[in-house]
């Protein structure tokens, strides 16, 4: 039985705002104090190589060194993968299959 979005909870970290991505979400939906959406792109964040995160250490301590985490490029809100989506694909999604259906056959080696 798949976990529904209502049951998915982002880990709470002391020094970071955290959320769970919605299915297919690619941009930040965090609102500022005036109610305006941030809209920054979500990018895979490799926190083990981030100097500021090394000083803080919240994520590595709680989730380990290889957790899949995305971060907004503007407001720095952290997003965790949705349990309903397959992990480690691409923030942009699976991509689309070509409409043209072009397939190049392998060349035969006739020498």
Q: What is the domain partition of the chain in residue ranges?
A: 18-80
pTM beyond 0.75: the answer is: no
> Do the beta carbons of residue 43 and residue 71 sit within 8 Å?
yes
pLDDT digits (tens, 9 = 90+) for 29-85: 999 889 999 999 999 988 888 888 888 888 888 888 888 899 999 999 999 988 887
Burial class of residue 71 in the structure, from the number of CB atoms within 10 Å of its CB (0-12 exposed, 13-18 middle, 19+ buried) = buried
């Amino acid at each position: 039985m798949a976990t529904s979005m209502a049951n998915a909870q982002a880990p709470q970290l002391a020094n970071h705002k955290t959320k769970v991505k919605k299915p297919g979400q690619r941009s930040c939906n965090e609102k500022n104090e005036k109610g305006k959406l941030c809209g920054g792109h979500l990018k895979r964040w490799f926190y083990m190589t981030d100097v500021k995160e090394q000083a803080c250490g919240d994520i590595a301590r709680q989730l380990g060194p290889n957790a899949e985490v995305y971060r907004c490029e503007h407001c720095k809100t952290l997003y965790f993968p949705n349990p309903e989506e397959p992990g480690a694909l691409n923030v942009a999604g699976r991509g689309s299959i070509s409409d043209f259906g072009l397939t190049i056959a392998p060349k035969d080696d006739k020498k």
